[in-house]
Amino acid sequence: MNEINFLYKLLQLSKNFNKYILLYSGITPSKYKIICGFEENEEIIDINKLINTNLNNKWWLGFISFELKNKIFPFLSTKYDQLYDFPELYFFNPKHLIIKEKKNLIIHSSNKEEILNYLFKKENFTIKSLNNLTFKSTTTKNMYKEKFKQIYNYLLNGDIYEINYCINFFCDNLKINETDIFALLTILNPSPFSCFVKYNNSFLISSSPERFIKKQGRVLISQPIKGTAKRNKHSKANLTRLKNSIKEKCENIMTVDLVRSDFAMLCEPQTLKVTKLLHTKTLRTVYQLYSEIECKLKNNIDISDIIYNSFPMASMTGIPKKRALQIIEETENFSRELYSGSVGYIDANGDFDFNVVIRSLMYNKSNKYASYPVGGAITIYTNANNEINECLVKTKGIEKSIKAKFTWD
């Protein structure tokens, strides 16, 4: 069966369940091409219960909202209304789990035969494209420049060295077919950490290119992205500029240092290392700079220890992290919610893999509200107009996929 048709059939199952997560690695080589789970045997909605719940021998799918920062750093709060129903943390052990590897299809379900018959029944699907969607920014360009000056003064004063500042594009009174949007994004803007999340009437539709953390045995890996250049008729020159940019390389290297600091309390001595530095990743609409950091975990480190020490992720916060989070809270005018959070799985061996929720649409089907936040790193080398342009570059994938327009006054 064609992989996109298979994927689309899986997506249709989401309409029958309140809790549903699908992870898709797209064209990127990966052990698991698709992981899909729906309907819950058990649920975890409290980070403290991760310690006390026996995770072994079970698969868990779930997400972590950026708003979990308030539990990890109690001096923080959330000033703005949360427009989606996503809790701060949610994991579920699915009654029905479908895993597609390169050559194998694995189904864990009491309805295995029924699911197999459904998946391989011949059906023709028409994925409908969308037209005339307009997303507007909650921050004007003049407001952005004012906030940029405020942040730049913090940089000059030494409060921070780098910060990820985000803005929010929104569309209200919107009625969409969320499964069609994910299918279009998957076809037209394939990304290695794509995901589709349904939590009651709230949806996350993501074409994320970034890994947050991956655990294999006792090895912990992070692959932060920092540095972006557009792909167009000038792609070769743009890529060269990205590789040679002092600004972009500084952003990336400072983020690497923050990941190293986050991992330091978790790892055995002399096992923390940078295995890739300033490598490039080619996506459909952009080039990205990324690096890779890994370590060997100490004995008796569990997933809650890892989350407390590394979340929110370095690439979406700043350096030093605590002060950067305070300034994010002070300067941004929306709640990030699941944006800047993470979605992923924990397998039956206790290994896991989680993305960074960027290049993502959040949609509340009840109030017909959708948002697509974007952001970028600000350092002492940063120019406000360039950052505005970079934010717009990061909307191109969804603009082309669903024919949306992003306006920024």
Note the pLDDT of residue 124: 76
Note the pLDDT of residue 235: 83
Rounded Cα gap, residues 408 and 82, in angstroms: 22
- The domain limits of the chain are 3-407
pLDDT in single tens digits along all 409 residues of the chain: 688 889 999 999 999 999 999 999 976 777 899 999 999 999 999 988 887 677 878 999 999 999 999 999 999 998 899 999 999 999 999 999 999 998 899 999 999 999 999 998 887 777 877 777 899 999 999 999 999 999 999 999 999 999 999 999 999 988 889 999 999 888 888 899 999 999 999 999 999 999 999 999 999 999 999 999 888 877 889 899 999 999 899 999 999 999 999 999 999 999 999 999 999 999 888 899 999 999 999 999 999 999 999 999 999 999 999 999 999 999 999 999 999 999 999 999 999 999 999 999 999 999 999 999 999 999 999 999 999 999 999 998 888 888 889 999 8
Note the pLDDT of residue 52: 66
Architecture of the domain made up of 3-407 = 4-Layer Sandwich (3.60)
